[in-house]
Amino acid sequence: AQSVTQLDSHVSVSEGTPVLLRCNYSSSYSPSLFWYVQHPNKGLQLLLKYTSAATLVKGINGFEAEFKKSETSFHLTKPSAHMSDAAEYFCVVSDQGGSQGNLIFGKGTKLSVKP
Subset of 18-37 contacting other proteins (CB under 8 A): 32, 34, 36
Instruction: Reduce the DSSP state of residue 48 to 3 states and report it.
Output: strand
Q: Does 106 bind other proteins (CB under 8 A)?
A: yes
Q: How far is CA 97 from the centre of its chain?
A: 21
Q: Of residues 20, 46, 56, 60, which one binds other proteins by CB under 8 A? A: 46
Q: Of residues 1, 70, 101, 115, which one binds other proteins by CB under 8 A? A: 101
Instruction: Reduce the DSSP state of residue 22 to 3 states and report it.
Output: coil
Cβ contacts of 98 within 8 Å, gap of 6 or more: 2, 29
Q: Does 96 bind other proteins (CB under 8 A)?
A: yes
Instruction: Reduce the DSSP state of residue 84 to 3 states and report it.
Output: helix
Binding site for other proteins (CB under 8 A): 6, 32, 34, 36, 41-46, 49, 51, 90, 94-96, 98-103, 105-108
